[in-house]
Structures are given as structure tokens and as C-alpha cells.
Structure 1
Amino acid sequence: MKNRDFLDNISILFATFFYVGYFPYGPGTAGTFAAMILYFIFLHNLNFLYYIILCIVLFFAGVFFSSRAEKIIGKKDPSEVVIDEVAGYLITMLGALWAPFSIVYVLIGFLLFRIFDIMKPFPVGFADKHIGGGLGIMLDDVIAAVISAVLLRLIIVIIVGL
């Protein structure tokens, strides 16, 4: 293994979401859980525009850093890289915008995103199999998140009527 430079270390730090990706059991679920806690404590009441900007920046930074991390770790779409799960969960929670804050929605968003991220139905699985590098790492989770956000919104509309 080569010596890592500063950018390599930053890439691993960011791509593993501050080393959450090294959790030994279900690193993807651990990354999603960390994102859920981040959302619950800090982000659920963030201004809409700032939240959208955060998601966009997270996506592009995720593409860059996960691409580097993939090369550093030496595996295609390494399980240690969980920034895609973090971005995916935060995008999922766009489905709860304009609804009263509820831990129930936070948990439903978690479950929906994990189901679509793990099962990878079309088009999630297609993106996972056919798009490589950092873009592929991020894109399948973004697609799973968009599906999850739409379903979360539908659930909220059915339950609350918002």
C-alpha cells in the first residue's frame, strides 16, 4: 500500500463519513443511521434552499471523494464508502418537506431508503451495474432516494393530508 497524501486522507475521511463506513456490521445501514441522526438533530429545520444546496454539494463532493476512495481502497464500490448512503438519506427526507416534523417520518424515510438501496429495483440496480466510479457509487443511491422521497411524500399525504 502506498503512502497516503493529505487529499487521500481527506477522501477516505469524507467518503467513509468520518469512518462510519468502517463499522463492521452493515456499514451502509450504519452510514444511513448516521445521516438520520444528523438530520434529526441538525438538519430537519434547515431552510429549504440551504438544504437543497447541501444535497447538491454532498452529491458532487461524494462523486469526487468516493472515486478517489475507490482507487485508494482498491475495490469497486467499496462497502466502506458510505457518503452515498448519507446523501441518499438526506435526499429521501425531501419527501417530508412542508410536513410537521415527526420522528415517524424520520424512521419511515430510513426504512424506505434502506429497502430501495438494498433491493436495488430498476432503475437503481441498472445504475449500480452499468455506471462505474464515483458517479456510479453515488447515482444508484440518489435514484433509490428519489423513489423513497416520492413514497415518503405519498405516505405523509395519506396519513396527514399534507
Structure 2
Amino acid sequence: MYKNKNFIDSISIFFATFFYVGYFPYGPGTAGTFASMVLYFLFFHYLTFSGYIILCIVLFFAGIFFSSRAEKIIGKKDPSEVVIDEVEGYLITMLGAFWAPFSILYILIGFLLFRIFDIIKPFPIGAADKRIGGGIGIMLDDVIAAVISAVLLRLIIVIIVGL
């Protein structure tokens, strides 16, 4: 853990690491996405569409704030401990399954799609990752990966179920 200067720094690290999940020693990004997947499975899929969109918007702006502060506290660009971007990315990915029947298969496919695009970072994801810094850069590459993943998830669901 990092020695925080004040309460806001402590809160920033707490949320940026998604309740310290980002300190998982192996694949913190995957651990953050997995934690988000569990929360989606347990709670988030019960939200209305407007409630879900509001959650994603609030999380995006909170993620920019907290990850920007965490980056300064930790002292490195886009630190691996910061996983709030993976949480946001997975939740956006699951918009692709929003009107489909609830299915663990879709939850897992969303997880795999998002992790593949977040790790490989094809254009334009990689370009955003390299060119945009700070909290917005930390969040934006995952949002782009998530939008691509959501579209692909939706296409897969249409092919499988026809919805």
C-alpha cells in the first residue's frame, strides 16, 4: 500500500483499485474485471436501463477523478493497481446483453471479449492508450474496448438467440 497524504488520497486509492482488488498479485486487471462480473451477476443486471446508464456515467466520471489521483499517489502512468477502468469497461460491455434473457453464458462471453480487447489493444484502443494521459486516458481506452466488446456481444446474442 502507499502512504496517503490525506483522506481524499485514501478514498481515491480505495475506489481506483476497486476496493483494493487492484492489489491482486496476478493479473489485477483480470481480477478487477472478474469482481465487476460478480457484481453484475449479483446486482447490476437487476437495474433498469436508465439506472444502468446512470451507473455507467457516474462510474466513468468518478473513475477519471479517482484514477487521476491514484496515478499521482502511486507515481506511475496508468498503474496496474488501478482497476476502476476495468470495472467500467465490463459494465459497458454488458450493455450488449441488456435486453437479452439473463444468461451466465453471456456474462462469461462479455468477460472474455472485454479482456481480449483490453489486453491486445487493437486500433483505436491502443492509440487512445498511448496518446491520452491521466485519468481520462486510463478510463477511455477501456471504454473504447468495451464499446467494441458490447457490439460483438450483441452480435453473438443475435446469432445465438435471434434477439
1:133 equivalent in alignment to 2:131: no
Q: Which residue number corresponds to residue 89 of structure 1? A: 90
Identity %: 85
Whether the aligned pair in 1 keeps the contact of 2:4 and 2:73 (CA below 8 Å) is: no
How far residue 8 of structure 1 moved from its aligned partner, in angstroms, is 0.2
Q: Secondary structure at the match of 1:33?
A: helix
> How many angstroms apart in 1 are the aligned matches of 2:139 and 2:76?
15
Q: Secondary structure at the match of 2:18?
A: coil
Unmatched segments (≥5 aa) in structure 1: none
Amino acid corresponding to residue 139 of structure 1 in structure 2? L
1:28 equivalent in alignment to 2:29: yes
How far residue 97 of structure 1 moved from its aligned partner, in angstroms, is 1.1
> How many angstroms apart in 2 are the aligned matches of 1:15 and 1:2?
15
Q: Secondary structure at the match of 1:99?
A: coil
Alignment of 1:141-156 (within 5 A): 141-156=142-157
Amino acid corresponding to residue 76 of structure 2 in structure 1? K
How far residue 45 of structure 1 moved from its aligned partner, in angstroms, is 1.8
Amino acid corresponding to residue 45 of structure 1 in structure 2? Y
> How many angstroms apart in 1 are the aligned matches of 2:147 and 2:19?
25
Q: Which residue number corresponds to residue 110 of structure 2? A: 109
Alignment of 1:5-84 (within 5 A): 5-84=6-85
How far residue 4 of structure 1 moved from its aligned partner, in angstroms, is 1.8
> How many angstroms apart in 2 are the aligned matches of 1:2 and 1:115?
33
Residues 2-31 of structure 1: per-residue CA shift (max 9 Å, x gap):
652000000000000000000000000000
> How many angstroms apart in 2 are the aligned matches of 1:124 and 1:156?
23
Whether the aligned pair in 1 keeps the contact of 2:118 and 2:142 (CA below 8 Å) is: yes
Q: Which residue number corresponds to residue 121 of structure 1? A: 122
With over 3 angstroms needed to count, the CA separation of the structure-2 counterparts of 1:36 and 1:3, relative to structure 1, is: closer
Whether the aligned pair in 1 keeps the contact of 2:16 and 2:70 (CA below 8 Å) is: yes
With over 3 angstroms needed to count, the CA separation of the structure-2 counterparts of 1:3 and 1:46, relative to structure 1, is: closer
TM-score, scaled to structure 1: 0.98
With over 3 angstroms needed to count, the CA separation of the structure-2 counterparts of 1:110 and 1:161, relative to structure 1, is: same
> How many angstroms apart in 1 are the aligned matches of 2:54 and 2:4?
34
Matched length: 162
Q: Secondary structure at the match of 1:44?
A: helix
With over 3 angstroms needed to count, the CA separation of the structure-2 counterparts of 1:30 and 1:2, relative to structure 1, is: closer
Runs of 4+ deviating beyond 6 Å: none
Unmatched segments (≥5 aa) in structure 2: none
